[in-house]
Amino acid sequence: MPFQLDTKVNQLHCSWCGKIIRDNPIVVKTCCNNKPWVFCSKQCYNNWVREWIRRQEQKVGTRKGQLL
């Protein structure tokens, strides 16, 4: 699960939507990424988490009962 960092970053753009960050950014790091992700708002962070969790779930094959 991603965890939030309390560090200041020099990145000016949101990693999710690309908008310029004017206020305090939300900075998170996951176990699979070496660099932190920077978000401009809680909405962008929630959208990213939703997609990240979807990618982490185990996928089921197309045939009935077949696992990948």
Residue 15: the pLDDT is 92
Q: Could you read off the pLDDT of 11-65 as tens digits, one per residue?
A: 689 999 999 988 888 889 887 777 889 999 999 999 999 988 888 775 554 555 5
CA distance 24 to 34: 22
What pTM did the predictor assign?
A: 0.70
What is the strand order of the sheet 3-5 is part of? Answer: 3-5, 26-29, 37-39
Q: 54: burial class by Cβ within 10 Å (0-12, 13-18, 19+)?
A: exposed
| pLDDT value at residue 6 | 67
Residue 8 has pLDDT above 60, yes or no: yes
Q: How far apart are CA 62 and CA 67, in angstroms?
A: 9
